[in-house]
Chain A
């Protein structure tokens, strides 16, 4: 069965530091992968998506993610974190059921120190 693992529950970084959030997936075929961000009390916003082609994808708010098939990973990165990036981040994979069902990871909560 498909699954998504986000190994880090909480991460704290200093403002201006680089960021990498880890995501590992389990899926037999080529996955469709997503990163979402959720600010407290808000809905989820799509940051970026990977379907095929270039394994380094760019998203909104300066985020990027790299798909590595050999490692079954889709890690999210940002070169310089801003205080407004403090939020919860979710990695997700499409199940391929035909109904666009997403399997979400448990999320990583990012705190940013000034």
Chain B
């Protein structure tokens, strides 16, 4: 069966510091991968998605970037964090190709607090 991991689970970082959040998927190949942010009391905002290694699409211009160095690894980064980057970051995967049934499966999330 497929599983999705995110780490770290929680992170407290000062303003201006760098960020690296990691997401890995097991049990599937060539997944579509997604990064979402969920601010306190708000819905989900899609930040990035990827349909393959090195292929990243950005949904919202911002202080963040994403990379996909391996098929099942998705990384969210920032060079200098802002207070507004605080939130709950969720990684998700979905199947790709003609047999996809479109649903996304989410990881446990990373709680980021920028101080």
Q: Which residues on A are within 8 Å of B, measured CB to CB?
A: 32, 34, 36, 41-46, 49, 51, 90, 94, 99-102, 104-107
Interface with A: B11-19, B61-69, B76-84, B97-105, which one?
B97-105
Q: Any chain A CB within 8 A of the CB of B35?
A: no
B106 touches A99 (CB 8 A): no
Q: Size range of the interface on B? A: 20 to 34
Min Cβ gap A83→B in Å is 22
A101 touches B49 (CB 8 A): yes
**Are A44 and B102 CB-contacts (below 8 A) given A90-B44, A104-B44, A106-B42?**
no
Q: Nearest residue in A to B111 (C-beta to C-beta)?
A: A41
Chain A residues whose C-beta falls within 8 Å of the C-beta of B103 in the assembled complex: 34, 46, 49
Min Cβ gap B102→A in Å is 5
Could you tell me the distance between the alpha carbons of A32 and B57 in the complex, rounded to whole angstroms? Answer: 22
Chain B residues whose C-beta falls within 8 Å of the C-beta of A100 in the assembled complex: 32, 94-96, 100, 102, 104
Q: Any chain A CB within 8 A of the CB of B108?
A: yes
Q: Any chain A CB within 8 A of the CB of B90?
A: yes
Q: List 6 A-B contacts (CB under 8 A).
A: A41-B111, A44-B90, A49-B101, A100-B104, A101-B46, A102-B46
A104 touches B43 (CB 8 A): yes
Q: Any chain A CB within 8 A of the CB of B51?
A: yes
Q: Any chain A CB within 8 A of the CB of B107?
A: yes
Could you tell me the distance between the alpha carbons of A100 and B51 in the complex, rounded to whole angstroms? Answer: 10
Chain A residues whose C-beta falls within 8 Å of the C-beta of B106 in the assembled complex: 36, 43-45
Min Cβ gap B33→A in Å is 10
Min Cβ gap A103→B in Å is 9
Min Cβ gap B45→A in Å is 9
